[in-house]
Structure 1
Amino acid sequence: MDVELRQLRYFLTLTEELHFGRAAERLNIVQSAVSQQLRRLERELGVDLFDRSTRTVRLTEAGHRLLPHAERVLADVEAARAAIDDLRSRRDGTVRLGTSTGLGARLDTLLARFRELAPDATLDLVTAPVADRLRRVRSGELDATLVRGEQRDAALELLAVWHDPLVVALPARHDLAVRSRIELAALADLPLRLASRQRNPPLYDLVLDSCRRAGFTPTLGPEFTTDQDTLAAIGFGTPSWTVYYAAQAGQIAPPGVVFRPLAPPAPAMPTYLAVRPDPPRAELRALIQACMSIVDEPRADRS
C-alpha cells in the first residue's frame, strides 16, 4: 500500500474533531486538502473510513479498525525522530528542557548556574502543557522538564529541586495593602480569582487546601485568564485577589496591584525535575546540579 504519513495524521485529527473544518484549522491547511487526502487514503485502502451521510462525521467500522494502527505508526515515527534528535543533541552538547510559566527569577538563576557548570553546552527551552512535556521526556524528545506538584509517572524519575512560595496579589487601594505580610484568613471576604482545577490542578489544590486550613472556604470569583486581564481587573475592578509565585511576582509591577507575602505558614509549591531513569550524560548532570543548587527564596514585596 502507498499510504502517506500525512494521510494518517489527517485521519487521526479528523477522528478527534469529527468535523472537517475544525480538523483543517488544527492542521493549519484548507478544508479541501483534508478531504482530498482522506479520499486518497480511502481509495488506497478500498474502504470508507468515515460516514459522511449525516450532518455529523462518524467513523465507520473500517475507520475504527484502522485507528489503533495509525496511532501506533505515528507514535513509532515520533519515537524515531526523538531518537535521532537525542543523538544529535548528544553530539552537539544540547540539553532540551521543558519549562513552566511563572518561573521568573528562578529561570534566570538556572540559566546562569548551568552556564557556569557547562560553558560549552547549549540549553534549549521548550514550553508546552505539562502532560505533553512529560510525554516528550518519556520519548526522549526532551532531556528533562520542570513540573510543579507531584506527578505520577512510573517511567520517569522526579527529582525535588525547590519550593516556590506563593504571594498574594490584591488591589493597592485595599486596606490590606498597607500590611507587610498578610494572614490568609484576612482574605476570606474577598473573591479569589484562580485558574480552574482542570487547567492547573496542583495550584488549585494547594490554594484551596491552604484556605481551608486557615479556617475558610474561599469564594471563587471570575476565573484567572491572562496576567494582563486578571491583574487589571484586580487593580481597577471589584476588589478581589489571586496568588502568584514569588519568583514571578518579583519581576512584574502591574499598576493598581500590590504583591504581599503571606504570613507563616505560607503555602509553597514544590517543583520537580522530571528525567528518565537512565544514567545522565555530562550535560544533563550539569542541569540537575544547577537545579539542585537553587535554594534562595526570592522575595516579592514590591508594589
Structure 2
Amino acid sequence: MELRQLRYFVAVAEEGGFGRAAERLSIVQSAVSQQIRRLERELGVTLFDRSTRRVHLSGAGERLLPEARAALAAAERIRRVAADITTGDEGVLRLGGVQGPGDRIYRLLAALSSTAPRLRVRLRRLPVSDRLTAVRTGELDAALVRALPAAPGLELLPVWTDPLYAALPADHPLAAEPSPRLEHLAELPLRLAPREQNPPFHDLVTEALRTAGADPVPGPPFTHLQETLTAIAAGAPSWTVFYDVVGLPPLPGVALRPLAGLTLTTFLAVLPGPPPAPVRHLLQAAASAELPT
C-alpha cells in the first residue's frame, strides 16, 4: 500500500468520480483508476460502486475512508515534524553537561526553552574524556567542557567565562588584597588536585603561574573544597584556587578573593563544520542568556 493510493482513494471519494479526482490531482484518469484497482486488490475489498455514472463508495469504502484520511494526516504530521527537526525547532539535543558554576546551566537551558520550546534536552554527565569521545562518535550533539585548550577533531566554542578564586588564611597579609596576583600567592604552598584528576584545570593554573614568572610551591593535595578550606584555616599557611559551583562557602579563618588576571572559560565542544540546528539554537540561547564572557 502506498500513500499516493490512499490520496487517490480519498480524492475519488470526495470528488465523486475518477475524472474529477484526476483533475484535482493533476494526473491522467487512467493513472487514478489503475492505482485504485491495485489498492482494492491489495486490500481484498471493493472500494467503489461503479455501476452508476457517478462513482459511489461501497460499504467497505465508507468504512475505510476515515482510516485513509487518518493515515494521510499522520503522514503529513511526520513531514511537519521532520521539517521542524531539520530547522532545530523540534527534536532532541543530546548535551554533555558540567556542574555549575552557579546557575549558568539553568539560565542557559531556560533561554533555550524560550528560543526553541519544542526542542527537548537530554543532559548527560560524563567524565570530560568520555564527553569528548561521545561528541566525536555522534553519541552526543555537543558537550560543555572547562579550561580545555584544544580537543583533537573537535571545535571549542566559548560559551561563558567565570572568575577563579583564591582561598588563603584570613590573617595572611595577602588577604588584605581585593584581587591578589598569582606571582605573590606563589610564595605559599599551593593545594592543587593531582593532574590526572583534572588535567585541563591543573594545566591552566600551573601554566598561568609560570607565565607570571613564578614556580608553584607544591602543598598538600586538594581533596574536596570544604576539607581543603578547613585545612587552610587551621594548618600551616597555604592556598588553593577554585571556581564557584554552588556559591562561595564562608568559613572562619579563610579569605576568599577573586584572582587577578585569571579566569575559567567554559566551551561547547562540537564537530567541525556548520553546527546542526539544535546546537545553533543552543548557541543563540547562550547569547540571549547574557552569560558572562
Bucket of the pairwise TM-score, normalised by the shorter protein: 0.5 to 0.7
Report the Cα distance in structure 2 between the residues aligned to 1:116 and 1:153, rounded to whole angstroms: 33
Alignment partner of 1:259 out of 241, 251, 256: 256
Cα deviation for residue 126 of structure 1 reads 1.6
**Hey, what's the Cα distance between the residues in 1 that align with 2:108 and 2:139?**
21
Cα gap change, 1:116/1:170 in structure 2, threshold over 3 Å: closer, same or farther?
Answer: farther
Q: Aligned pair in 2 of structure 1 residues 294, 175: CA closer, same or farther (>3 Å)?
A: farther
Look up the match of 2:183.
185
SS at match of 2:196: coil
Q: Does residue 1:284 correspond to 2:279, yes or no?
A: yes
Q: Which residue of 2 aligns with 1:133?
A: 131
Match of 1:103 in 2: 101
**Deviations along 1:101-134, whole A, 9 cap, x unmatched?**
4532322321222222122323232221111011
Structure 1: state its 5+ residue gaps: 1-86, 299-303
Aligned 1:69-80 pairs, distance under 5 A: none
Cross-structure match for 1:213: 211
- Residues in 2 aligned to 1:279 and 1:157: alpha-carbon distance in whole angstroms: 11
CA-CA distance at 1:278 after TM superposition = 6.3
Partner of 1:197: 195
8 A Cα contact 1:170 1:241, kept in partner: yes
TM-score under structure 1 length normalisation: 0.59
> 1:219–1:103: structure 2 CA closer, same or farther, 3 Å change rule?
same
Classify 1:208/1:93 alpha carbon distance in 2 versus 1 (closer, same or farther; 3 Å): same
Q: Which residue of 2 aligns with 1:63?
A: none
Q: 1:271 aligns with which of 266, 272, 280?
A: 266
Q: 1:137 to 1:231 in 2, by over 3 A?
A: same
Letter in 2 for 1:255: L
Say which is worse superposed, 127-136 or 182-191, in terms of deviation.
Answer: 182-191
Q: CA deviation at 1:222?
A: 1.3
Q: 1:248 maps to which residue?
A: 245
Contact 2:94 2:122 in 1 (8 A): yes
Q: Indicate conservation of the 8 Å contact 1:231/1:254, yes or no.
A: no
| One-letter amino acid of the counterpart of residue 267, structure 2 | Y
Q: Provide closer, same or farther for how the CA distance between residues 279 and 122 of structure 1 changes in structure 2, counting only shifts above 3 A.
A: same
The answer to whether 1:151 aligns with 2:120 is no
What residue identity is the alignment partner of 2:263?
Answer: A
Cα distance in structure 1, aligned partners of 2:218 and 2:202:
11
Residues 158, 216 of structure 1: CA spacing in aligned structure 2 closer, same or farther, 3 A cutoff?
closer
When the two structures are superposed, what TM-score results if normalisation uses the length of structure 2?
Answer: 0.61
Supply the distance in 1 between the matched residues of 2:273 and 2:186 (Cα, whole angstroms).
Answer: 47
The one-letter code sitting in structure 1 at the alignment partner of 2:118 is D
Q: Which has the higher strand share?
A: 2
Q: Would you say the 8 A contact 1:161–1:294 is kept in 2?
A: no
Q: In the alignment, is the contact (CA less than 8 A) between 2:169 and 2:255 conserved in 1?
A: yes
Q: Pick closer, same or farther for the CA change 1:212–1:284 going to 2, 3 Å.
A: closer
How many residues of Structure 1 are paired with residues of Structure 2 in the alignment? 205
* Matches of 1:268 and 1:187, distance apart in 2: 16
Q: Does 1:231 align with 2:229?
A: yes
